[in-house]
Structure 1
Amino acid sequence: MPSWPNSKETSDDDDEFMSEFSSMQMEYFQTPETVIDPSFCGLVIESDRRCILHRQRAGKFVAFEGTDTGRRFIGCATEDGVNCGVLEWVDAPWPVILQRCLTKLWDMYHEQNLGRAQDNEAHRTEVAKLHKELDYLANQYSQLVDDVSKLFDYQDGIKSHDMDCTSQAINELKEKKRRLEEQAKIELQMEKLKLKKEQRCILQSQADIIQNTRKAMKEIEVDRDHLKEEKKKLENVIAELLKVGHGCKEKLDKIKEVVMEE
């Protein structure tokens, strides 16, 4: 875990810290994702410690990733502080049961996100297919308009019935093109609404995870207090039993003395 040197230390101490820093494994330099918590945020003002890499004052963060969700830690407050990793954990690791619950919740979260991503990909493929069909129909329509123009140039004497049929075919193509354009617009609007709904679901899921984590922590504290009370009761019972045992021993000693005198 990286150290936090005091700003009043000498340059020799800085060299020593940098030497220790360069020998560390890179796996320690991964800062977890964080969530905003008004009760624990901002810069560390209790001390003048600074990050070794950036020489900047440390910041307060709350982890929002994996089994460390909800744990508070001290980290680098710079924009590229992700390379500095967790500099100091404020909270101890959660109990094993709570870590398993967090792992299950995150697995469910990633599974839902994967399903949404697959659905979005399938929908984008379908929309692209509709756009391709729409372009193809537009090309057909343009070609038909050219053919009709040529027909008007070479067959000025065509019967009105044939002209009506040609106009009807053009109108049908126009109507089909219009329907396809409307369908494509509706699909795009539905896609936007769906993405907004999914975004709201993700934000709600994050809020639920934080709430469940805090609830689990409170339940663990209640169980711990209950165990302390039970321990005190047991200690009192043992003390009473020892007190009664000492009284019986004194009586036996007196009886033994009377028997010895007789």
Structure 2
Amino acid sequence: MPSWQNNNETSDADDDEYMNEYNSSNMQMEYFQTPDTVIDPSFCGLVVESDRKCILHRQRPGRFVAFEGTDTGRRFIGCATTDGVNCGILEWVDAPWPVILQRCLTKLWDMYHEENLGRVQDKDAHEIGVEKLKKELDSLGNQYSQLVDDVSKLFDYQDGQRSHDMDLTSQAINELKEKKHRLEEQAKIEVQMEKLKLKKEQRCILQSQADIIKNTRKAMKEIQVERDLLKEEKKKLEHVISELLKAGHGCKEKLDKIKEVVMEE
């Protein structure tokens, strides 16, 4: 398996060395749109070791861990101001991930966006249904108001039939009130279900973020183990070559002595 510079597992001394390089006058800065980030307690906060500041915001840069596309898990130094302006300081601490890992990250993010798209479509469909229920509720409210007006007029016009009409009207009003109450209860239930669903989706997204970071770190550790094994094999091979060279020099000395004896005879 190929190896690469594993900057994600560098020691604190390496981080300090990098920050010294960051403070040097040769460090290049460029403007860009800062990628999304994820909280990492081991690499966060402002870069107080440097006096450099963002040209536009006049703020010190900060330490971040990217959480976007093929750069997920990579650490970088960036603009600490989040005001929506597409500018800042970008200096990657970690080297780009191997191609195969980038492909895996791309696949995971594609699956994540497809899942989010489906959830958004379901949410839109639910909002349309809720809006339809609200319109029906408003229509019933208008019908109820109109019915109350008609009843008032009816009472004024037909005093003799008030008792009979009141019974019919009261029944219709009660039915409308009952239907309105049912619709209101249904709308409340739908809203509560949507809130529970959104909370569940939020927990799933946070869990997915944690899993991606965990899997990335696990892959980094496995590659480091393989690099250590290759180093051990290289040391053994160098030792064998050294022994062979020593043996070759010994044979050459014996041949020289034999040649001297023959020449003397």
- The TM-score normalised by the length of structure 2 is 0.75
Aligned to 1:208: 211
Instruction: Write the distance in 1 (CA, Å) between the matches of 2:156 and 2:256.
Output: 138
Correspondence 1:89 to 2:92: yes
Instruction: Write the distance in 1 (CA, Å) between the matches of 2:80 and 2:153.
Output: 72
Aligned to 2:187: 184
Instruction: Write the distance in 2 (CA, Å) between the matches of 1:219 and 1:238.
Output: 29
Correspondence 1:158 to 2:161: yes
What RMSD in Å do the two structures reach over aligned CA positions? 3.6
The offset of 1:41, in angstroms, is: 1.8
Aligned to 1:111: 114
From 198, 205, 222, the counterpart of 2:225: 222
Tell me which amino acid in the other structure corresponds to 2:207: Q
Provide the aligned length of Structure 1 versus Structure 2. Answer: 243
CA deviation map 1:118-173 (0-9, x unaligned): 11111111000000011111111222222233333333333866653443232222
Q: For the structure 1 residues 107 and 85, does the alpha-carbon distance in structure 2 shift closer, same or farther, using more than 3 Å as the test?
A: farther
Q: For the structure 1 residues 50 and 168, does the alpha-carbon distance in structure 2 shift closer, same or farther, using more than 3 Å as the test?
A: closer
Aligned to 1:129: 132
From 196, 199, 202, the counterpart of 1:196: 199
Q: For the structure 1 residues 72 and 5, does the alpha-carbon distance in structure 2 shift closer, same or farther, using more than 3 Å as the test?
A: closer
Unaligned runs of 5+ in 1: 10-16
The offset of 1:49, in angstroms, is: 3.5
Contact 2:77 2:89 in 1 (8 A): no
Tell me which amino acid in the other structure corresponds to 1:224: R
Instruction: Write the distance in 2 (CA, Å) between the matches of 1:145 and 1:195.
Output: 40
Q: For the structure 1 residues 85 and 55, does the alpha-carbon distance in structure 2 shift closer, same or farther, using more than 3 Å as the test?
A: closer
Report the secondary structure of 1:84's partner residue. Answer: coil
From 34, 39, 46, the counterpart of 1:31: 34
Q: For the structure 1 residues 199 and 109, does the alpha-carbon distance in structure 2 shift closer, same or farther, using more than 3 Å as the test?
A: same
Tell me which amino acid in the other structure corresponds to 2:225: V
Unaligned runs of 5+ in 2: 1-20
Report the secondary structure of 1:83's partner residue. Answer: coil
Matches within 5 A, 1:237-252: 237-240=240-243
CA deviation map 1:20-54 (0-9, x unaligned): 98xx7xxx522212222221222223343344444
Contact 2:23 2:49 in 1 (8 A): no
Q: For the structure 1 residues 43 and 253, does the alpha-carbon distance in structure 2 shift closer, same or farther, using more than 3 Å as the test?
A: same
- The TM-score normalised by the length of structure 1 is 0.76
Contact 1:76 1:82 in 2 (8 A): no
Instruction: Write the distance in 2 (CA, Å) between the matches of 1:50 and 1:42.
Output: 14
Identity of aligned residues (%): 82
Instruction: Write the distance in 1 (CA, Å) between the matches of 2:68 and 2:125.
Output: 29
The offset of 1:232, in angstroms, is: 2.7
Instruction: Write the distance in 1 (CA, Å) between the matches of 2:217 and 2:118.
Output: 28
Q: For the structure 1 residues 5 and 46, does the alpha-carbon distance in structure 2 shift closer, same or farther, using more than 3 Å as the test?
A: closer
Contact 1:130 1:184 in 2 (8 A): yes
Instruction: Write the distance in 2 (CA, Å) between the matches of 1:157 and 1:94.
Output: 90
